Amino acid sequence: MTERWKPAVTVAAVIERDGLFLLVEETTSNGLRLNQPAGHLEPHESLEQAVVRETLEETGHDFVPTMLIGTYLTPNFAQIKQQGTYLRFAFAGRLGPRQTEQLDAGIVRTLWMSRAELAACPQRHRSPLVLACIDDYLAGKQVPLDMLYTHPDLARAGGKTS
């Protein structure tokens, strides 16, 4: 039997304030890398719940997604020897108050960078999607959140199921 192809579903938060973007510096198998607050979709959560959770875990801040910037299908750039594909859903939104100082394992710090500063160091990006998502955000690409649907049986209590 042929093995089924299953891309890993991830989410990312593009958060802009005064021309700067919130990023995390994280430890990876390829050294310290820059990324948006991002991570994997977990069972029984909507895409919106996932991006809120990942942002809190990686920055300590609440996040309110307001639009979907885009979806991105890409190879696994983090580990060249390991094959795989990611399907990333990038969201823009508002950063809320800081809830905790404790960040996910592997997150070294959060930082704010301009698009120009980020473009000047592509070797430090977790993947080419870091800059691609920001460029799409700056280009005004957006999809209303009500275009996303999560069946009520999959979403945790209190999750959006439009």
Distance between terminal CA atoms of the chain? 37
> Does residue 77 lie within any of the structural domains?
yes
The answer to whether residue 93 sits within a structural domain is: yes
Q: Is residue 3 part of a domain?
A: no
Instruction: Look at the chain and report how many structural domains it folds into.
Output: 1
Tens of pLDDT, residues 94-134: 999 999 999 999 999 999 999 999 999 999 999 999 999 99
For residue 147, is it within any domain? no
pTM of model > 0.95: no
pLDDT tens, position by position, for the chain (162 residues)? 677 888 999 999 999 999 999 999 999 988 999 999 999 999 999 999 999 999 999 999 999 999 999 999 998 766 544 568 999 999 999 999 999 999 999 999 999 999 999 999 999 999 999 999 999 999 999 999 999 999 888 765 544 444
3-state secondary structure of 90: strand
pLDDT at 86: 92
Q: Which domain holds residue 36?
A: 8-142
Give the Å distances, CA to CA, from 18 to 21, 112, 156: 8, 10, 34
Residue 53 belongs to a domain: yes
Q: Is residue 39 part of a domain?
A: yes
Helices (H), ranges, the chain:
47-59, 115-119, 129-138
- Residue 62's domain is classified under what CATH number? 3.90.79.10
